[in-house]
Amino acid sequence: MSDPTCKVKVLPRSSTSRIVGFDGDTLKVKVKSAPVDGLANQDLMTTLSKHLRIPKEEIEIISGHRSRLKTIRFRGIREDHLLRLLNR
């Protein structure tokens, strides 16, 4: 079983940190932090972790560390379960 991945578009400097939903095959996530010194990435990981109820260590940015468009890998979760959780 391979770990599922998801394209994520980060929207920094928002009033709240939350998952907006899918736009095509890309998940949109608003984060409060500015994209400075990795703060927006940390905020993204925290937001995903809380929403999915999985440890931050199970979520990894595999591309796009310095971009708003990222590819995220989720460990220890099936793809169908991940999509259900992201769509709730």
Domains annotated on the chain, with CATH: 5-86 (3.30.1200.10)
pLDDT digits (tens, 9 = 90+) for 13-72: 999 999 999 999 999 999 999 999 999 999 999 999 999 999 999 999 999 999 999 999
Among 74, 45, 80, CA closest to 58? 74
What is the side-by-side order of every strand in the sheet holding 18-23?
18-23, 26-30, 5-11, 69-74, 59-63
The model carries a pTM of 0.92
CA dihedral sign of residues 38, 43, 46, 51: negative
